[in-house]
Structure 1
Amino acid sequence: MMRPSAATRPRIRLPGGGCFFSSIAVLGLLVMYQNIRFFSVKLSSYPSDTVKAAVGGEDDMDPSSGVYHSWKVFKMNYEEMERKLRVFVYPGGHRTPQRLTGKYASEGFFFKNIRESQFVTLNPDKAHLFFLPVSCHKLRGQGVSWEGITNGIRNYVRALMLRYPYWNRTLGADHFFVTCHDISLRATEGVPLLVKNSIRVVCSSSYNNGFIPHKDVALPQVRLPFSYPAGGNDVNTRKTLGFWAGRTDSNIRSALTTVWKGDAELDIQNSRKNGTSVKHNKFYGAKFCICPGKSEVNSPWIADSIRYGCVPVIMSDYYDLPFNDILDWRKFSVILKESDVHRLKHILQNISDAEFVALHQNLVKVQRHFMWNTPPKRYDAFHLVMYEVWLRHHVIKY
């Protein structure tokens, strides 16, 4: 049977037997429809179920690099994901945020990449996972308030419960939601089961602010487009011990600035300027880039450091690092406690030249994992996010 076109297909329908609903129930559903109409878009064609050949990237990685917890396990599971994983993208919601630039670009690229990938299925009965395509970034750009976004997501999920049996089958445990916007976790508060059961893929992965490790997934926040080439094989030109410039919008950032501003070897600045050529030159000239945590949200600073070959120094007690199940961050970064801020210079000075070279070389090897591409390429940021979601699918209990 031919499917109706997107232009004629109703966006929200009553389930079978809807004619028996009372007039009051029908009116209630219509009111709910009006509440979520800003989520609705016309449906377009989806990729077919046929698995496409991998696009771009090398077929094999270098297992000798040592940047993985276990190359053998990662490769085996990754290839299984490529063969088997199927995702049903619910209609409605948003197709792709208009902009694929700026500090929320990871969200836009994911929405675009999921439909460009081989993972999408038109048949929900064949799906392992179900994607809720609601873009907080796009809604905020349309002027919708934080409360409005939360209420809209709640009503959108309720409509899916009426139309499809899949949420109710698992209470949302095989559903996932993606956002890089600051609202991220707060946007899910209107649906308790989305908070407790579903996989939330978010840039705000501080687990003292609602992020649930081992269920939720840390989405790498990448500011795009990159204005300058990737750093690499340039250890001899890196003379500054450590560099950071940003807003003092958290306790650790305030402490970092208070203790080290004006130091001769640590270039620490309380600066609101982003993306300038001077700042990027400092990325290229520093051995270590300090990455202090923010009060609630993540920032692109870690991804910038990786891109420009500046070894990240993670200073956040509650931050779940992106791809932590796959990558051994201690092989290409320095991980400290926030309380180490007074010892920061001493710690970095005691990292030998040989240790720094090894960290830098490994950092160059993981750069590809923090790249977004269209269409997506093997082992890039999109595929590693899907791999993390795939891992969590295996612990779902029906």
Structure 2
Amino acid sequence: MDMEKNFKIFVYPYTDKAFADDKRRKLSGKYGSEGYFFESLQQSHFLTTDPDKAPLFFVPISCHKLRREGRSYEDIAIAFQDYVKSLIAKNPYWNRTRSRSFLRNLYNVQYVPRKDVPLPQIIQPFALPAGGNNLKNRTLLAFWAGRCSSDIRDKMIQAWQNDTELDIQNEQIDIQNIRGHIAYQEKLQVSFLRLSAVILSDYSVLPFNDILDWRNFSVILKEKDVHRLKKILKRIPDQEYRILQDNTVKVQQHFQWNSPPVKLDAFHPVLYELWLCRHVVKYERVDTGMNR
């Protein structure tokens, strides 16, 4: 309630269209949450045009357009640094909070705890119907399909892609295509788990970690457990699977983006995480040679 009443966000002016391309931001794919967040912010009462009323300043930049142009991560990092330097030169209020809070796409490995806030990556909209909790019709232990884009995915594919109980597919299924949509839905409805609900990581900061207990709706394992994955999943009792499925349905609304935003959807937990971050920020004057 305090956040709803007092939290205001100021958006920096668009000074470089190479970054501030909000009108054409994609609302799908792994960068979709960036577009949804910005669109939701523009449609919300949290937006302010007065920087003196805002504890948080939003820089509307995204690497999506630069990645589409084929730029390397090193080139993008340099371009971002130059862009931020131009903001500092033009805007005297930049260093008021030492710019400590950032939204991070989950694919960005340069995550800084208690400084950054991870964005949930969710396919929009939630078009797949619930499969129900009748475990008798589920013949697969787990299902996953996607591209090999990380070391742990590579290990998982190598270990289990030929298994008969774990359906691991080293390919992306296009659920926007009607055939892909049906195939994906059928796989989910005969599986105990979708492997995106299994967290295989030695260290990860999950979205809304300060708000939701991920142990209630996911299975969290270490990376070394990838070769024991089937054994671990088979040891989970049916009743526990039912609880995980029921809890997943309960938290689903918090991972869904809407336009305009809906109360308690993904936009609001992200804002609440940012609201909590403001207590970490040290408001101290930084001498940059600028007038204030």
Residue in structure 1 matched with residue 148 of structure 2 by the alignment = 248
Residue in structure 1 matched with residue 229 of structure 2 by the alignment = 344
Query: Which residue identity lines up with residue 264 of structure 2 in the other structure?
Result: Y
Residue in structure 1 matched with residue 192 of structure 2 by the alignment = 287
Q: Distance in 1 between matches of 2:239 and 2:255?
A: 25
Q: Distance in 1 between matches of 2:86 and 2:155?
A: 47
Answer yes or no: is the 8 Å Cα contact 1:204–1:211 preserved in 2: no
Residue among 142, 163, 166 paired with 1:266: 166
- Is the counterpart of residue 203 in structure 1 residue 84 in structure 2? no
Answer yes or no: is the 8 Å Cα contact 1:244–1:269 preserved in 2: yes
Gaps of 5+ in 1: 1-78, 174-197, 291-301, 303-311
1:278 is paired with a residue of what secondary structure? helix
| Distance change (3 Å), C-alpha of 1:157 and 1:214 | same
Structure 1 or 2, whichever has the larger Rg, is 1
Residue in structure 2 matched with residue 167 of structure 1 by the alignment = 94
Answer yes or no: is the 8 Å Cα contact 1:204–1:218 preserved in 2: no
- Is the counterpart of residue 130 in structure 1 residue 57 in structure 2? yes
- Is the counterpart of residue 90 in structure 1 residue 12 in structure 2? yes
Q: Distance in 2 between matches of 1:85 and 1:113?
A: 15
Q: Distance in 1 between matches of 2:190 and 2:87?
A: 52
**Length-normalised TM-score, structure 1:** 0.63
1:372 is paired with a residue of what secondary structure? coil
Deviations along 1:307-331, whole A, 9 cap, x unmatched?
xxxxx11112232211111110111
Q: Distance in 2 between matches of 1:145 and 1:395?
A: 34
Query: Which residue identity lines up with residue 5 of structure 2 in the other structure?
Result: R
Answer yes or no: is the 8 Å Cα contact 2:9–2:57 preserved in 1: yes
Residue in structure 1 matched with residue 286 of structure 2 by the alignment = none
Query: Which residue identity lines up with residue 34 of structure 2 in the other structure?
Result: E
Q: Distance in 1 between matches of 2:93 and 2:228?
A: 52
Higher relative contact order (Cα pairs below 8 Å, separated by 6+ residues): 2
Please state how far the C-alpha of 1:164 moved relative to its aligned partner. Answer: 2.2
Residue in structure 1 matched with residue 71 of structure 2 by the alignment = 145
Answer yes or no: is the 8 Å Cα contact 2:10–2:48 preserved in 1: yes
2:22 is paired with a residue of what secondary structure? coil
Q: Distance in 1 between matches of 2:87 and 2:278?
A: 20
Residue in structure 2 matched with residue 318 of structure 1 by the alignment = 203
Query: Which residue identity lines up with residue 95 of structure 1 in the other structure?
Result: D
Query: Which residue identity lines up with residue 92 of structure 2 in the other structure?
Result: P
Gaps of 5+ in 2: 15-19, 284-292
**Length-normalised TM-score, structure 2:** 0.85
Answer yes or no: is the 8 Å Cα contact 1:104–1:223 preserved in 2: no
Residue in structure 1 matched with residue 113 of structure 2 by the alignment = 213
Q: Distance in 1 between matches of 2:221 and 2:259?
A: 35
Residue among 262, 278, 281 paired with 1:393: 278
Answer yes or no: is the 8 Å Cα contact 1:325–1:388 preserved in 2: yes
Q: Distance in 1 between matches of 2:45 and 2:148?
A: 43
Q: Distance in 1 between matches of 2:125 and 2:50?
A: 35
Answer yes or no: is the 8 Å Cα contact 2:104–2:111 preserved in 1: no
Q: Distance in 2 between matches of 1:356 and 1:125?
A: 50
Query: Which residue identity lines up with residue 84 of structure 1 in the other structure?
Result: N
Please state how far the C-alpha of 1:125 moved relative to its aligned partner. Answer: 0.5
Residue in structure 1 matched with residue 249 of structure 2 by the alignment = 364
2:167 is paired with a residue of what secondary structure? strand
Answer yes or no: is the 8 Å Cα contact 1:241–1:265 preserved in 2: yes
Deviations along 1:226-268, whole A, 9 cap, x unmatched?
4433444454433311112223343322332333233232222
Q: Distance in 2 between matches of 1:253 and 1:264?
A: 18
Answer yes or no: is the 8 Å Cα contact 1:113–1:374 preserved in 2: yes
Query: Which residue identity lines up with residue 226 of structure 2 in the other structure?
Result: V
Answer yes or no: is the 8 Å Cα contact 2:141–2:165 preserved in 1: yes
Query: Which residue identity lines up with residue 203 of structure 1 in the other structure?
Result: L
Query: Which residue identity lines up with residue 150 of structure 2 in the other structure?
Result: S
Matches within 5 A, 1:45-60: none
| Distance change (3 Å), C-alpha of 1:164 and 1:323 | same
Residue in structure 2 matched with residue 194 of structure 1 by the alignment = none
RMSD, aligned CA: 2.1
Deviations along 1:31-58, whole A, 9 cap, x unmatched?
xxxxxxxxxxxxxxxxxxxxxxxxxxxx
**Once superposed, which parts of structure 1, at least 4 consecutive aligned residues long, lie more than 6 Å away?**
none
Q: Distance in 2 between matches of 1:148 and 1:264?
A: 43
Q: Distance in 1 between matches of 2:67 and 2:147?
A: 22
Residue in structure 2 matched with residue 41 of structure 1 by the alignment = none
Identity %, equivalent residues: 50
State the aligned residue count. Answer: 272
